[in-house]
């Protein structure tokens, strides 16, 4: 497969490893468990250490199995380089550890994954100013920028309320101001959306979710799309300016974020994720269709007070999603009418499983305020639009009729 054809999303992912030429004609990149990589010529070892020739040194900084996955994610996001991490949080944490200095300002969407929100509080305690804005309107973002703003951080479809950032206009704003724009693409995945298309410089993917897709491995990634000019970033130290400017950011993140903090992805996990990624498109087609059908069923039910799903015409950013995304995602959330006990409802479901992961093949469901958003307290929950009765559903690939039947039967009992 050395041809130059422009293959589709799935064809590219399926054949990516093989195209690079794998030992013994393996179809998958094998799982390399060796921590160290030896060289017969000591000069070559030195030269690999000095970055003068490619090669592996020590597992925390790079591994062939992980590297094959990085290449795959990079193809999906059409980036100039990708780094993998032990978890999605490891990837996000590495950005802040490696790119921010005391006195810098970060502007973040207020609609955030709970642990990212918590991470911001930590960063704020270390001398970095952090502010949160409703990023569904670019004007809010523009108004909150300061001369010290280094990073604007948003998610595509926010979990759990499904607010959608004004992705394109925020990208234009960041480009005009030379600010690094980071988009967490976990909810959309590169199959539904490429943040590069709206000018994001770095893209975060929690590989744990839909890309791995089977709830059997943790992982995260950062892709540099090439859209950001690192000359404009004041915190890149001279040491990482040796390569082409497009690589400066990842060079510093690889050393200061991944190597020094050590949230490295293991080769076994990388293998699980790589295999899962092969069926990303098929699974997303099915989960998005199931989510749409379930959202419609819930919206039509008198016992449901509100449904949040970008595929519904009632969703505030429905039209925007139609323009930007291939489909509307696998995540929805809803509120039951006052007086209905959400725990009783959840306990009547036979298929949907009370559990906290997202992007699994199985439908997972969770009462948000009582679990994943419990620690942040009622006030911050209210500011994020999280009702106490909010239930989040990560829709799986079950047969649609079975899934709908499960929810209708559980609602019947309310
Ligand atoms: C799950 C998630 C993360 C973190 O990923 P982990 O692999 O669980 O650390 C980050 N961002 C979003 C949007 C997520 O859903």
**Is residue 208 in contact with ligand 1, taking CB distance under 6 Å?**
yes
In this structure, the strands spanning 331-336 and 390-394 are antiparallel
CA of 88 to the centre of ligand 1 (A): 5
Class level of CATH domain 9-277: alpha beta
pTM score, two decimals? 0.96
Beta bridge partners of 304: 336
Tell me the CATH number for domain 282-412.
Answer: 3.90.1150.10
| Nearest ligand 1 atom, CA 187 | 13
Q: How many residues does the chain have?
A: 414
Q: What gap in Å lies between CA 255 and CA 380, rounded to an integer?
A: 35
Residue located via tokens 């399926």:
14
Q: Tell me if 159 CB under 6 Å of ligand 1.
A: yes
List alpha helices for 100-149, DSSP H.
114-124, 138-144
Looking at residue 2, its pLDDT comes to: 52
- Band the pLDDT of 21: cuts 50, 70, 90: confident
| Cβ–Cβ < 8 Å for 327, 288 | yes
291-345 per-position pLDDT tens digit: 999 999 999 999 999 999 999 999 999 999 999 999 999 999 999 999 999 999 9
Tell me the per-residue pLDDT of 134-164, one tens digit each, with 9 for 90 and over: 999 999 999 999 999 999 999 999 999 999 9
CA distance 204 to 82: 10
- Domain ranges, ordered by start, for the chain: 9-277, 282-412
CA of 212 from ligand 1 middle (Å) equals 12
d(C-alpha 194, C-alpha 183), whole Å: 10
Rounded to whole angstroms, how far apart are CA atoms 295 and 122?
36
SS3 (DSSP) at 222? strand
Cβ–ligand 1 distance for 395 under 6 Å, the answer: no
CA distance 334 to 3: 48
Q: Quick one: residue 302, left, alpha or beta (phi over 0 = left, psi -120 to 50 = alpha)?
A: alpha
């Amino acid at each position: 497969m050395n041809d130059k054809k422009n293959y589709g999303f799935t064809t590219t992912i399926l054949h990516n490893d093989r195209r690079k030429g794998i030992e013994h004609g393996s179809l998958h990149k094998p799982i390399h468990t060796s921590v160290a990589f030896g060289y017969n010529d000591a000069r070559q070892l030195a030269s690999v250490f000095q970055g003068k020739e490619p090669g592996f040194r020590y597992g925390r900084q790079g591994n062939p199995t992980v590297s094959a996955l990085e290449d795959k994610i990079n193809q999906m996001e059409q980036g100039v380089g990708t780094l993998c991490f032990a978890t999605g949080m490891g990837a996000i944490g590495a950005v802040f550890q490696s790119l921010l200095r005391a006195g810098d300002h970060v502007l973040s969407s207020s609609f955030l994954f709970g642990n990212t929100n918590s991470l911001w509080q930590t960063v704020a305690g270390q001398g970095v100013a952090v502010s949160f804005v409703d990023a569904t309107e670019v004007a809010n973002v523009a108004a909150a920028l300061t001369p010290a703003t280094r990073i604007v951080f948003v998610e595509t479809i926010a979990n759990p309320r499904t607010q959608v950032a004004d992705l394109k206009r925020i990208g234009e704003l960041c480009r005009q101001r030379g600010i690094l724009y980071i988009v967490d693409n976990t909810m959309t995945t590169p199959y539904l959306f490429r943040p590069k298309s709206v000018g994001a410089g770095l893209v975060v993917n929690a590989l744990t979710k839909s890309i791995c897709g089977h709830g059997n491995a943790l992982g995260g990634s950062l892709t540099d799309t090439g859209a950001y000019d690192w000359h404009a970033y004041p915190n890149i130290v001279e040491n990482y300016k040796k390569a082409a400017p497009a690589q400066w950011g990842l060079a510093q993140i690889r050393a200061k974020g991944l190597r020094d903090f050590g949230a490295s992805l293991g080769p076994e996990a990388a293998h699980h994720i790589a295999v899962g990624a092969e069926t990303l498109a098929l699974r997303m087609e099915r989960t998005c269709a199931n989510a749409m059908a379930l959202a419609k069923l819930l919206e039509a039910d008198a016992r449901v007070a509100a449904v949040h799903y970008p595929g519904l015409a009632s969703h505030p950013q429905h039209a925007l999603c139609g323009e930007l995304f291939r489909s509307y995602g696998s995540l929805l959330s809803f509120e039951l009418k006052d007086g209905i006990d959400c725990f009783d409802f959840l306990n009547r479901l036979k298929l949907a499983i009370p559990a906290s992961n997202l992007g699994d093949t199985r439908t997972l469901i969770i009462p948000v305020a009582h679990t994943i958003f419990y620690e942040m307290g009622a006030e911050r929950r209210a500011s994020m639009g999280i009702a106490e009765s909010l239930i989040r559903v990560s829709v799986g690939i079950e047969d649609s009729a079975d899934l709908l039947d499960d929810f209708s039967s559980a609602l019947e009992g309310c």
